[in-house]
C-alpha cells in the first residue's frame, strides 16, 4: 500500500520505516529541510537502536522516500499519517498548531479518497477538528472528496521504538467507518498476523486511551517515588519494599522503580495535558496533579541530597554526572531529570563534568558553551578532578564501576545513585559514602 507520513521525529520516522520494512511504499515528509536532506544521504538524526540500518536498507530498496514536497507526497497516498509534535502550550494544554497545519496541507493537496491517520498524542476531540479542517479546505477547492479520519495513538517507547513498532502490544484504532478500519487492517496485517492485537473503538476513546496509558505509567513512578521518600524518612529500604510488592501479580514488577523522576517528551506533557483537559470539562483531576507535583519535586532530589551532604554549600565543588538522556538507549534530553540536577548544582555554585553514551551532541545543543560544564568523552574522564559522582541515567555501562577506583578518584568520596542500581554495601566497603533514592540511609 502507499502511505505518507508527516513528521520524521521519533514516531514518524520509526513508523514510516517499519511500514516500508514490511513492504509498503512510504514517503516521509518534514518541514525541516536539513533533516530531509540528511535522511536522503542516510543520516538518521536520532539515536534509536536498529533504526539506521533499516532506514538505509529500505531507502536503497526504493520503498522509503524523504521529501519536503507535501503536495507530491499526498498525491497518490492511500493512507496519510500525522506524526508531528504536540508540545505543551503556555498553560500545559497540548499545542495543536502542527497537527492542524498538516491537516490544512492535506486538505489543500488531497486528490483521491484517503484515510488520514492521527498518530500524534492529541486531546480528545482532535479527530473532529482534523476532519473539519480538511473538509473546509476541500470545500474551498470545490472538491467533495471522500476521506476518513482515524485516531491511531502510538505506544512505542524511545530506546526500543523499532521493536515496539514491529511487534506492537496492541494497535488501537479509533474510527467511524468500517471502510477505514478495513484499510488500516490491511496496512497493519504484517504486524498483526493473528488479528488479536487490534483494538477498535471510537475516536474519542482512542484519543483518551493514549493519555490514560501514559498517565497510568507516570502514576506508578510517582507512587514509588512517594513511597521512597517515606522509606527514607522511616529508615526502610525502598528496594526491599519494591521487591515485596512487585511479587504480587496484581501489582507486578514492571515500572515500579523509584528514581530521580520521570522525563522525556511524553509523560510530563501528557499528564499535564490530560489534567488541563479535565479542567476544561470542569473536573479537577487531583490524582494527576499529585503525580505531576511529586515528579517535579523528585527531579530536585539528587541536588537536595548533595546539598545536605555538603552542608548546604557546593561552591568550589565539582560533580561528575553520568547520564544526561532522560532514560537509557536514547539521545533524547527533553524534560530529562539531568537538566533539573545540573541547574540546581550550578545555582549552588558547583561545576559539572558530564558523560552520556549517546546524548553528548544533544547536551552541547541544550547547554551551549559554559564555563561550569565540561562534557567528557568517557565515564572515567568525567571523574577527573571531581569531588562526587551522581548517576542520573541508568545506562548499562554505568552499572558495574570499579568502586575502589572511584574512591580514589573522587575528592569527597561520595556517590549519589539516582536510579538505585548500585549495591550500597559494596559501595561503602570501597570507602565511599552512598546516597540512593529512598534507601533509609539518606537522611
Ligand atoms: P518530534 O518532535 O521528534 O518530531 C516531530 C517532527 O515533525 C519534526 O521533525 C518536525 O520538523 C516535524 N513537523 C512539524 N511540523 C510539520 C509539518 N507541518 N509537516 C511535516 N513535518 C512537520 O516528535 P515525536 O517525539 O516523534 O512525537 C510526535 C507525536 O507523537 C507527539 O504528539 C508525541 O506526543 C507522540 N508520541 C511520541 C512518542 C515518543 O516516544 N517520542 C511516543 C508516542 C507518541
Does the annotation list 210 as a binding residue?
Answer: yes
Give yes or no for residue 145 having a pLDDT over 50.
yes
Evaluate: CB of 156 within 6 angstroms of ligand 1.
Answer: yes
pLDDT greater than 60 at residue 442? no
pLDDT in tens, 426-436: 999 999 999 99
Q: What is the CATH classification number for the domain harbouring 345?
A: 3.40.50.720
334 is in an annotated binding site: yes
Answer yes or no: is the C-beta of 259 below 6 A from any ligand 1 atom. no
pLDDT value for 150: 98
If asked whether residues 17 and 115 sit together in one domain, one would say yes
* Mean pLDDT value across residues 380-386: 98
**Set of cell numbers at residue 268:** 510530563
Alpha carbon of 46 to ligand 1 centroid (Å): 12
Residues 170 and 45 in one domain: yes
Instruction: Verify that 189 and 243 share a domain, yes or no.
Output: no
pLDDT value of position 193: 83
Cα 294 to Cα 219: distance, rounded to the nearest angstrom: 10
3-state secondary structure 2-69: EEEEECCCHHHHHHHHHHHHCCCEEEEECCCHHHHHHHHCCCCCCCCCCHHHHHHHHHHCCCEEEECC
Closest Cα to atom 34, ligand 1: which residue?
A: 121
Region 253-269: what's the mean pLDDT?
Answer: 97
Cβ of residue 6 lying under 6 Å from some atom of ligand 1: yes
Of the three residues 201, 230, 250, the one that is the final residue of a domain is 201
Same domain for 152 and 81, yes or no, is yes
Query: What pLDDT was estimated at residue 195?
Result: 67
Both 13 and 115 in one domain: the answer is: yes
pLDDT in tens, 97-143: 999 999 999 999 999 999 999 999 999 999 999 999 999 999 999 99
| Mean pLDDT in residue range 47-68 | 97
Give the mean model confidence (pLDDT) for residues 53-73.
98
Q: What is the ipTM of this complex?
A: 0.99
Distance (Å, whole) CA 376 – CA 322: 10
Helix 301-309 to helix 337-347 angle, to the nearest 10 degrees?
Answer: 30
Q: Whose CA is nearest to atom 20 of ligand 1?
A: 30
Ligand 1 near 100 CB (within 6 A): no
Domain count, the chain: 2
pLDDT tens by residue, 189-210: 999 887 679 999 999 999 999 9
Residues 177 and 60 in one domain: yes
Overall average pLDDT of the 324-350 stretch = 97
Domain check: are 264 and 380 in the same one? yes
pLDDT classification of 328: cutoffs 50, 70, 90: very high
Ligand 1, atom 10: nearest CA belongs to which residue? 7
Q: State which of 5, 11, 272, 328 you would mutate to test the pocket of ligand 1, scoring each by most atoms of that ligand within 8 A of its C-beta.
A: 11
Which range (81-95, 185-199, 329-343) has the least confidence?
185-199
Complete DSSP assignment for 343-365 = HHHHHTT-EEEEE-SS-HHHHHH
The question of whether 266 is a catalytic residue gets the answer yes
C-beta 162 within 6 A of ligand 1: no
How many A from CA of 118 to the centre of ligand 1? 11
3-class SS at 326?
A: coil
239 and 363 belong to one structural domain: yes
Mutate to test the pocket of ligand 1, among 44, 85, 151 (most ligand atoms within 8 A of CB): 85
Instruction: Give nearest CA residue, ligand 1 atom 44.
Output: 154
Q: Which atom of ligand 1 is nearest to the CA of 32?
A: 11
171 pLDDT more than 50 = yes
Cα 10 to ligand 1 centre (Å): 7
Q: Are residues 406 and 296 in the same domain?
A: yes
Same domain? For 34 and 150 the reply is yes
Domain boundary among 163, 186, 201: 201
Residue 194 grid coordinates: 493473528
Indicate whether 34 and 95 sit together in one domain: yes
Average pLDDT over residues 239-253: 97
d(CA 190, CA 19): 9
How far apart are the CA of 332 and the centre of ligand 1, in A? 13
pLDDT bracket for residue 441 (50, 70, 90) = low
Which tens digits make up the pLDDT trace of 151-165?
999 999 999 999 999
Helix orientation angle between 203-234 and 267-280, rounded to the nearest 10 degrees? 120
In this structure, how many other beta carbons lie within 10 angstroms of the beta carbon of residue 296?
A: 13
Domain range for 90:
2-201
341 Cα: distance to centroid of ligand 1 (angstroms): 26
- Beta strands 198-201 and 64-67 are unpaired
Instruction: Give the E-state strand segments of 75-197 in sequence order.
Output: 79-82, 114-118, 147-151, 171-174
- The answer to whether residues 443 and 377 belong to one domain is yes
Amino acid at each position: 500500500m502507499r502511505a505518507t507520513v508527516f513528521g520524521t521525529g521519533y514516531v514518524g520516522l520509526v513508523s514510516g520505516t517499519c511500514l516500508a520494512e514490511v513492504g509498503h511504499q512510504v514517503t516521509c515528509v518534514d518541514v525541516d529541510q536539513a533533516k530531509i536532506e540528511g535522511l536522503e544521504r542516510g543520516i538518521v538524526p536520532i539515536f534509536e537502536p536498529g533504526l539506521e540500518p533499516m532506514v538505509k536498507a529500505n531507502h536503497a530498496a526504493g520503498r522509503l522516500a524523504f521529501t519536503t514536497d507535501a503536495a507530491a507526497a499526498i498525491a497518490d497516498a492511500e493512507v496519510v499519517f500525522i506524526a508531528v509534535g504536540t508540545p505543551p502550550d503556555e498553560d500545559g494544554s497540548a499545542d495543536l498548531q502542527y497537527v492542524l497545519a498538516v491537516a490544512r496541507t492535506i486538505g489543500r493537496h488531497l486528490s483521491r479518497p484517503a484515510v488520514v491517520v492521527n498518530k500524534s498524542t492529541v486531546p480528545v476531540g482532535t479527530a473532529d477538528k482534523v476532519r473539519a479542517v480538511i473538509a473546509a479546505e476541500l470545500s474551498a477547492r470545490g472538491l467533495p472528496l471522500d476521506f476518513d479520519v482515524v485516531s491511531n495513538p502510538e505506544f512505542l517507547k524511545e530506546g526500543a521504538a523499532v521493536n515496539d513498532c514491529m511487534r506492537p502490544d496492541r494497535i488501537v484504532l479509533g474510527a467511524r467507518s468500517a471502510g477505514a478500519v478495513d484499510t488500516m487492517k490491511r496496512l497493519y496485517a504484517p504486524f498483526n498476523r493473528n488479528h488479536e492485537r487490534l483494538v477498535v473503538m471510537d475516536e474519542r476513546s482512542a484519543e483518551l486511551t493514549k493519555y490514560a496509558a501514559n498517565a497510568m505509567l507516570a502514576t506508578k513512578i510517582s507512587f514509588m517515588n512517594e513511597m521512597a521518600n517515606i522509606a527514607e524518612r522511616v529508615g526502610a529500604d525502598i528496594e526491599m519494599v519494591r521487591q515485596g510488592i512487585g511479587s504480587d501479580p496484581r501489582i507486578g514488577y514492571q515500572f515500579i522503580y523509584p528514581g530521580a523522576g520521570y522525563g522525556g517528551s511524553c509523560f510530563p506533557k501528557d499528564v499535564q495535558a490530560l489534567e488541563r483537559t479535565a479542567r476544561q470539562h470542569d473536573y479537577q483531576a487531583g490524582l494527576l496533579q499529585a503525580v505531576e507535583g511529586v515528579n517535579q519535586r523528585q527531579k530536585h532530589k539528587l541536588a537536595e541530597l548533595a546539598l545536605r551532604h555538603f552542608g548546604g554549600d557546593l561552591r568550589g565543588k565539582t560533580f561528575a554526572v553520568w547520564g544526561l538522556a532522560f532514560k537509557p538507549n536514547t539521545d533524547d534530553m527533553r524534560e530529562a531529570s539531568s537538566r533539573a540536577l545540573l541547574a540546581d548544582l550550578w545555582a549552588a555554585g558547583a561545576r559539572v563534568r558530564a558523560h552520556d553514551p549517546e546524548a553528548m551532541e544533544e547536551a552541547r545543543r541544550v547547554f551551549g558553551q559554559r564555563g561550569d560544564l565540561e562534557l567528557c568523552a568517557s565515564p572515567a574522564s568525567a571523574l577527573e578532578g571531581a569531588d562526587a559522582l551522581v548517576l542520573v541515567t541508568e545506562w548499562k555501562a554505568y552499572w558495574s564501576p570499579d568502586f575502589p577506583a572511584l574512591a580514589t578518584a573522587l575528592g569527597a568520596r561520595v556517590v549519589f545513585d539516582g536510579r538505585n542500581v548500585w549495591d550500597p554495601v559494596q559501595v561503602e566497603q570501597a570507602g565511599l559514602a552512598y546516597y540512593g533514592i529512598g534507601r533509609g540511609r539518606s537522611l
